[in-house]
């Protein structure tokens, strides 16, 4: 099938579920990882590097395998990345890096309708991460999906700035963004400006998509990284919101007439503090499987109750180390085929 994903909520037909294989914190740390993942840390010297603990990776892989089976049991076709060893060193003429992980396929590829876009990510250690997904993306391309890569960024030191942490650390020297900075509502695309996505990236995306789409730039919501722990549409006219970050003043006008589901305080799950850039709000990182069914991490009981009271069925998913690895059900998946349509959902 062609890739097809116009929204965050259409009935899911094909999906990539990430893997814990070879997951590590890069040993080579530069301005990029400091400004994107650890902007709040003064000194990277004390941070760990190399593989996450073996027992944690084994548990995570078991959780992801179980999640994949739950989706398959619902009739969804599941693909998995083909990871390469992250300890391998690679370089451009300007910098040297080792790899990160293949746990969050959401971050590196954006599906807009039938089009596959490999995004110009902000971390050097993830520069070649989409290679692990090419066997999936090529199948959709062969079926007729346009498949492009945004201009590969140089990721020079001058792109990153930690002088004012009240604003995004990613400057505008070149287009740069993670796919997880974007949420889709048919013809309307919402783009979060943050440490992992800059204004130049939003401009490039609008230029590429053309007049059939409107890219709404959100630059006053959340400066740290991705959008899917702040604003997440769950169905036409229903949106999940983070009350710590979203309010009446900064909520995009588009969503003001929608039913607003305010996420309850997340259950604070354990994590390895030195390894964990993820906040407790990873608990609201959920995946819509259809307009009525949502996958939620199983320990987030208040959120599960809230969603059920709002008319949703909930698939409970176990992701034991989602905070340490910075990825809930939405992050660890990439929906390549949904049963949905381009349109105006405002």
Q: Where are the domains of the chain?
A: 11-339
Cα–Cα dist 282/321, whole Å: 11
Element (H, E) at 201: helix 199-209
Residue 331 annotated as catalytic: yes
Q: Is 77 helix (H, G, I), strand (E, B) or coil?
A: strand
3-state secondary structure 272-339: CHHHCCCCHHHHHCCEEEECCEEEEECCCHHHHHHHHHCCCEEEEECCCCHHHHCCCCCCCEEEEEEE
DSSP string computed for 212-280: G-EEEEE-SS-SSS-STTTEEEEETTEEEE-TTT--TTTS-GGGTTSEEEEPPPPP-----GGG----G
The distance from CA 128 to its chain's CA centroid, rounded to whole angstroms, is 16
Q: Which fold has domain 11-339?
A: 3.75.10
Per-residue pLDDT of the chain (346 residues; tens, 9 = 90+): 899 999 999 999 999 999 999 999 999 988 999 888 888 888 788 888 899 999 999 999 999 999 999 999 999 999 999 999 999 999 999 999 999 999 999 999 999 999 999 999 999 999 999 999 999 999 999 999 999 999 999 999 999 997 777 788 899 999 999 999 999 999 999 999 999 999 999 999 999 999 999 999 999 888 888 999 999 999 999 999 999 999 999 999 999 999 999 999 999 999 988 887 788 999 999 999 999 999 999 999 999 999 999 999 999 999 999 999 999 999 999 999 999 999 999 8
Q: What is the DSSP letter of 150?
A: P
Q: pLDDT at position 35, please?
A: 87
- Nearest Cα neighbor of 99 from 18, 33, 175, 170 is 33
Q: pLDDT at position 142, please?
A: 97
Structure tokens at 36: 């994107």
Q: pLDDT at position 54, please?
A: 95
One of 98, 178, 188, 335 is an active-site residue; which one?
A: 178
Q: pLDDT at position 168, please?
A: 87
Sheet of 293-297, strands arranged across: 287-290, 293-297, 313-317
Structure tokens at 81: 């990345």
One of 79, 331, 335, 340 is an active-site residue; which one?
A: 331
Whether the CB-CB separation of 345 and 190 falls below 8 Å is answered with no
One of 6, 199, 226, 330 is an active-site residue; which one?
A: 226
Residue 226 annotated as catalytic: yes
Sheet of 188-192, strands arranged across: 182-185, 188-192, 214-218
Whether the CB-CB separation of 200 and 245 falls below 8 Å is answered with no
C-alpha dist (Å) from residue 211 to 188, 200, 206, 215: 11, 18, 8, 10
Q: pLDDT at position 277, please?
A: 72
Q: pLDDT at position 37, please?
A: 86
């Amino acid at each position: 099938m062609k890739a097809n994903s116009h929204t965050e909520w259409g009935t899911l037909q094909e999906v990539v579920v990430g893997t814990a294989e070879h997951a590590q914190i890069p040993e080579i740390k530069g301005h990029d990882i400091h400004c994107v993942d650890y902007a709040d840390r003064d000194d990277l010297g004390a941070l760990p590097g190399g593989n996450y603990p073996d027992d944690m990776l084994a548990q995570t892989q078991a959780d992801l395998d179980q999640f994949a089976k739950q989706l398959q049991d619902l009739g969804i076709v599941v693909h998995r990345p083909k990871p390469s060893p992250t300890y391998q060193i690679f370089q451009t003429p300007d910098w040297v890096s080792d790899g990160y992980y293949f746990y969050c396929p959401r971050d590196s590829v954006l599906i807009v309708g039938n089009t596959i876009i490999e995004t110009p990510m902000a971390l050097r250690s993830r520069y070649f991460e989409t290679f692990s997904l090419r066997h999936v993306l090529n199948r959709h391309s062969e079926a007729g999906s346009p498949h492009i890569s945004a201009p590969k960024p140089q990721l020079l030191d001058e792109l990153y700035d930690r002088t004012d942490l009240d604003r995004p650390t990613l400057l505008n020297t070149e287009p740069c963004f993670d796919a997880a900075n974007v949420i889709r509502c048919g013809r309307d695309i919402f783009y979060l400006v943050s440490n992992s996505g800059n204004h130049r990236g939003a401009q490039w995306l609008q230029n590429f998509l053309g007049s059939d789409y409107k890219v709404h730039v959100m630059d006053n919501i959340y400066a740290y990284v991705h959008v899917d722990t702040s604003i997440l549409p769950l169905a036409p006219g229903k949106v999940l919101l983070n009350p710590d970050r979203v309010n009446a003043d900064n909520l995009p006008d588009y969503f003001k007439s929608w039913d607003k589901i305010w996420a309850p305080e997340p259950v604070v799950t354990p994590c390895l503090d030195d390894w964990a850039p993820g906040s407790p709000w990873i608990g609201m990182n959920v995946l819509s499987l259809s307009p009525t069914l949502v996958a939620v991490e199983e320990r987030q009981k208040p959120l599960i109750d809230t969603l059920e009271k709002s008319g949703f069925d909930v698939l409970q998913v176990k992701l034991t180390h989602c905070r340490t690895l910075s990825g809930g059900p939405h992050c660890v998946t990439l929906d390549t085929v949904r049963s949905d349509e381009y349109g105006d959902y405002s």
